[in-house]
Each structure stands twice: as C-alpha cells, then as structure tokens.
Amino acid sequence: MSTVLETEEHKALRAAVAALGKRFGRDYSTGLARKGEHPRELWEEAGKLGYLGVNLPEEYGGGGGGMAELSIVLEELGAAGSPLLMMVVSPAICGTVIARFGTEEQKRAWLPGLSDGSLTMSFGITEPDAGSNSHRITTTARRDRGGEWVLSGRKVFISGVDISDATLIVGRTEDARSGSLKPCLFIVPRDAPGFSRTQIDMELQAAEKQFELVLDDVRLPADALVGGGPSRSSGAESGGEDAGLLQLFAGLNPERIMGAAFAIGMGRYAVERAVEYAKTRTVWKGAPIGAHQAIAHPLAQAHIELELSRLMMQKAAKLYDDGDDTGAGEAANMAKYAAAEACVRAVDQAVHTLGGNGLTREYGLASLITAARVSRIAPVSREMILNYVSHQTLGLPKSY
C-alpha cells in the first residue's frame, strides 16, 4: 500500500513492524486462538521493541509519538496476520487517558508498564441495558469514609480482562449540587474484592476473550479516580470528578482510530492472500484466474477502498495528535466506518476468490469472516456512526 504521505520515520516504523509480524504470521495467531491461549510471545516482543507504547510520553518509558505511530503498528501486525486486539484497549484507550488526565502517581504507576507491555489494562464501558448509549450507564460510584469510593454495577463484552492487571471502569458519580449523575473513570485492580468476571461464550475465534463484569460494592482508594478529585486543571487538561466526560471522549477517539487500523490490516491480509492465489490458480485455457476481470476488478476495488479508509485514518490520527479533539471525533468515526466496510468486502471477496479453499484452515481466511463482521459492530456500530455524522456534521435532527 502507498505510504507517500508518511514521514521517513513512519515508513521505517512500518517496515520494522511488518518484519516482526511476518516472523509470527497467521498460523501463530490462529493456532493460539484455537487453544484458547494469548499471543504473549508477540506481545512481549512488541513491547521490548517499543512498539506497544510508541504513543505514550517518553518520560514514562514510551516512544513520545501519537496515534499516527500506534495505528501503523496495529495495521502492519494485522496485515501480517497477527493483530494484537489489546493494543486498541491498553495503550490506545487506557494509556492515552492516563497520560492526558492521570495524576503524577497514576502516570508513574501505569505508563511504564503499559509502554513495555509488562502491564495490561482493559476498558469497561459497555453495559447490558445501555449498549452504545453512554448516557444510560448505571454503574455508580459513591464516596464513603475516608474519601474511599464504592462501585456497583455490571459491564459486558469487555475484552481481555483475564490477562489485564486492572480495568479502567466508566462509572457515574452524583453531583452534590444538582443531584444528577456524571461520568467518571476509575482504575480497578483485577483482584479487588467484589470485582468478578464471567467469560462470555462467543462464536468468534480470537485469543482475546470477552467477559461480563460484576462490581459488587467494590471498595477503592480515593486515588483510584483518574485525575484525582474533586477537580483540578493542568494546562489544557483536566482531572477529577468534573472531567469524566472529557476523559471518556478523549479515550474513544483513539479507540475508533485503532479500530480502523485493525480492520485495514485485516483487509490487507485478505486481499494479499487472494492476489497471491489469483496469480497462480489456473482453471481455463492456461491463464491464471486473476487474468479474468470477474476476479481482478473486485480485488482492485477492495484495494482502493482500503487505501481510502487508511487516508481517513491518517487524517484522524493527525487531528488527534495535534490536539483537535472535535475534528478528530468526526474523522475517527468516519475512518472506523470506512475501514469496517472496506474490510468486510475485502474478506468476502478474498474468500470468494479462493472458492472452497477460502473456507479451509490451510489458507487462513475463513476465520476472518466473523472477525471482519465484528468490525462493523465494535467498538461502535456503523449505524451509530451514521447517526453521529448526520447529526453532528450535517446538522440533521437527532433520531434518538
């Protein structure tokens, strides 16, 4: 794929990560998923090389880059057939939120480990009765004696909790002035009393498992609140009880950018496998099937759509890294939408190109069918993105 808009540093990063991904490959990823194991070896290697924390501040062990660099890492690992889903959550969402809004103590406690991969963090926002509506979150946090917090609620479809040292939980606290509930983010250690998890049985074949979480009066220290409390301001960033909504959306933009990178990498892998097959598979009159427009044109179209979605992802990353959260919000949603649609079509066409072979384990494409479909749903559905664009960009009346 073209890298003409990237710096020489970005091109070098892309090439280095691609080489790492090829050392592991699709067989490594699918083999672990079938056994229910995690890609620890790849995760640790990527961490040692500085790829996992390339977006985090240098003073805390990171690479000092941004979402532009982190999205390159995930895309190239995906294009090699070995994507790391927890990159979307641990360094992109949780690492970004703590780096931007955490107290100094929180930064020192978490960012070095998130940077080198020795610590992992999950992100808990989705609830059974809230879905994509973050305003309906019912997980609540109340202050107790000595400034401690007590959290109660449930979360569903939370990735990688079994391998995470903590989960960044989105809850709501009561505003003493108005009585209304406002969002806040809390760092909940995996072994906190009252914090339990149940694995959700999924048809999706992935190393990263999905969980339902129950917070049964989970007691946390005062400093579990991201940014401290009750409120503080440091330059352009805020922390504490009054900053939860700002923190939440600052984490969701990276989530969408990385979701796009995940989908683009997957789509690239599928197209590349199909092109290899179409160049060598011969059925009629000695010509490879790739010589026929019925095969060639859909693959060319898939390639074009992936390239276009990557451009929007790069725009979103640039806006976010430049501090334009509003502009990044629109672009990140568009990038995620475009990448998911391109990925689904690319995987479908790749499987169709291989025919029966596209459904065999040997060629490694069949497992992508479900994974690609997930990219349309998570972390936000395409319908909610269309709602966002129609309302926020086009100024149309809200339908919900």
Q: How many helices (H) and strands (E) in the chain?
A: 11, 11
pLDDT, average across residues 132-157: 88
- Alpha-carbon span 364 to 145, nearest angstrom: 55
Residue 391: C-alpha distances to residues 254, 330, 333 (Å) = 21, 11, 13
Residue range 189-231, pLDDT digits in tens:
999 999 999 999 998 888 889 999 999 999 999 999 999 865 5
pLDDT, average across residues 373-394: 94
- Alpha-carbon span 153 to 13, nearest angstrom: 41
User: Lowest-pLDDT range, 89-98, 127-136, 252-261?
Assistant: 127-136
Residue range 97-122, pLDDT digits in tens:
999 999 999 999 999 999 999 999 99
pLDDT, average across residues 122-147: 85
Residue range 328-350, pLDDT digits in tens:
999 999 999 999 999 999 999 99
- Alpha-carbon span 17 to 49, nearest angstrom: 9
- Alpha-carbon span 379 to 259, nearest angstrom: 7
Q: How confident is the model at residue 235 (pLDDT cuts 50, 70, 90)?
A: very low
Look at residue 94 and tell me whether its pLDDT is greater than 70.
yes
Where on the phi/psi map is residue 153: left (φ > 0), alpha (ψ -120 to 50), or beta? left
Residue with the two structure tokens 């998130």? 114
Three-state helix/strand/coil letters over 32-46: HHHHCCCCHHHHHHH
Q: Mean pLDDT: which of 3-7, 175-179, 299-303, 366-370 is highest?
A: 299-303
- Alpha-carbon span 367 to 273, nearest angstrom: 14
- Alpha-carbon span 337 to 182, nearest angstrom: 28
- Alpha-carbon span 142 to 219, nearest angstrom: 10
Distant-in-sequence, close-in-space partners of 382: CB < 8 Å, separation ≥ 6:
337, 340, 341, 376
